[in-house]
Structure 1
Amino acid sequence: MPSGEFFDVLEVRDPQAREEALMGALAAHVAQAKASAPYYARLLADVDPDTICTREALAALPLTRKSELGAIQAAHPPFGGLTTLPAGRLQRIFVSPGPIYDPEAGGRDYFRFGRALYATGLRSGQILHNTFSYHFTPAGVMLERGARALGCAVVPAGPGNTEMQARAIAHIRPQAYSGTPDFLKTILDKGDELGLDLSSIRRGHVTAGPFFPALRQYYAARGLTVLQSYGTADLGLIAYESEAREGMILDEHVIVEIVRPGTGEPLPAGEVGEVVVTLLTPEYPLIRFATGDLSAVLPGPSPCGRTNTRIKGWMGRADQATKVKGMFVRPEQIAEIARRFPELGRLRLVVDLAGDSDAMTLRVEAPTSAPGLAERLAETLRDVTKLRGAVEIVPPASLPNDGKVIDDRRPVG
């Protein structure tokens, strides 16, 4: 059981040692996935696992997109051939919206949330009031298993029933809360209304929703330490906050790439792109799993002393496909235009209305407007999307670094 300032020595490893350990595990991980998971046997049929031992080699492998997982699983129930264990040897099978079916195998802390809860300040012998759902979706179990791995008791409260939540906290006196960022405030406000003493709650671990600055200030004013994490039902923990509150620190058992939306091409540190995760879990060996979420790598280590890479956290969605004149336009198509013009900077397709009709403008960063460039870009846009659009050349670094490739400005409704 962990003790001290850090969950384990992995958190304070020399970054080069961590990278060597992750890359050293990668080839065997790919080999096991190819040998034991039918999906990867098909997808990686022509791949020699022994060669997948660098980030460059990893980046050459195909993506598996979360947005396609439902169709993959429907074709080969229940998990699309992505697991290495038969369904009957799992501990639990969850159902997320989509539907997407998520496996849980054995192990003390399968989803690895103990690390994030420890960074929040939860310690052995304390009680966690867990308001995540235990019904079909895995969030409740994810946080419970993390807390149990730390030696904590758990109140499996689930969502809703605000008054019952407040009365249970006043009676049981748990030290920590887990749930969505705003539900803790709802419970505390109800406690105030009922005249209940909820002061035992000193810490909170939140995820699955935006944690706005005003809400952070509300908790700070009440003397609470509330930190957040980023994870998914498929991957478990991806990254977590420490009390430094400067970005989110990657979990020690994932390899994260930030790629250009619509492609598998890794971006330089600092550029906003899609979060792609390779999960080093043998039972569900997700390789280059494209989450559809946007984030960016932050420079340097966390001031808290943890040495792993930090990301900015969730910054929006990379799945920006939209319909224009009845036809889908996708980030992959804008990425194809960028591939044909490698001398350009960022590209952004702006979709708006011109009167009652859809209109597209491709905004392109270029050092100079070379003769005929706009015309060639317009022709390529039409070739790739089968739709006509205008082209606007803008100065380098003038488009926002927010990962947005398609900006649909048309009014909703």
Structure 2
Amino acid sequence: MRLLHTSDWHLGRSFHGVGMLEAQRGFVDQLVSFVEAKSVDVVLIAGDVYDRALPGLDVVKLLDDALVRITQAGATVVLTSGNHDSAIRLGFASRLLERGGVHLRTRVEDLDVPVLVPFGKDGESSATLAIYGIPYLEPRLVADRLEVETASHFEVTHEATERIRRDLQDRRKSGAVHPVVLAHTFASGGITSDSERDLSIGGLGAVPLDLFEDFAYTALGHLHGRQELAPNVRYSGSPLAYSFSEAKHCKGAWLIDIDADGSAGVQEVLWEAAKSLAVLRGKLNDLLESGEHSWAEAAYCQITLTDAERPAQAMEQLRTRFPDTLVLSFDPEGAGPKDKVSYSSRLAAAQDDLEVCCGFLEHVRERSPGSAEEAALRAALEAVRLEEAEL
């Protein structure tokens, strides 16, 4: 049985104000081509298919097209809801969609109701693959429904996996059953990046890996970096980068081959990025002139300037070489607490009106006025002085 583990599509998300729908369409194209080329049997989507609970119409259409194309390519889809999704909206018409090969697991009541896929054809094997989907479990909302006393991520996830184990125990009375579990959660050992949202107020509510240790494979969602926590417990990560902290990520998925005896082999899958990310740091002139940064000219850029004084029209200058500079910050070399004098202290130490005006400009722009600007201020102040003298 061949499975493809993906998650965190975040359809409809933007990247620092830049819409990503076209890039997401490109990912879907790659996914469908891969499913066809590699004869994937099941595509697993472990939550956060949408970026928000109320996605736009074009976003819903993209998911609709993706599911149709995946099933037309011959694969079954098993999809769980994440903390970004509206479980109720995403789960609409789930019983009807099952007839078309799309299995939604968005309800707590269905987390121990597996999608059953038999191994082999024409009775070649009696073994069955049982795919369980655990939707994102917000402890305060589901603790009562799961009948646990403590509303914590550990308690609700522990109960969810226990219900799956009890269902497995009953099913194994009739033959070999190998479980695969999807879960949208933060498992201990995972490495976070900036674009994930907290799963609990005040921090991430982590759950231990041993909750998933005896499943053939656990497909996790929520963290955006593709990573292995254990041979049978992995995050696929997001298919596209959604923050500059993901600039060094190799975006992709996991391809899992499970045999009738339950053994699993896992291979990495890499997606081609529509646009690379660059995180650059240095002085303005060095960034504009250095040949080592030529690769970043076609990338989305986050740039930190280290000039002692903030250059004039810094963003405009940078975009002459790096047109897709999206984030600009300043971190002057050598600056420290001793250099940071409050504006009120500067104002009190000013010797004349010109120094007051120049100090204000430096305060709001983090750059001293140039000679032409200082001359203009001096002329304006002189004009005011003469006008007052005539009164």
Instruction: Please identify which structure carries the higher helix content.
Output: 2
Q: TM tier, shorter chain?
A: 0.3 to 0.5
TM-score (norm: length of structure 1): 0.32
Normalising by structure 2, report the TM-score. 0.33
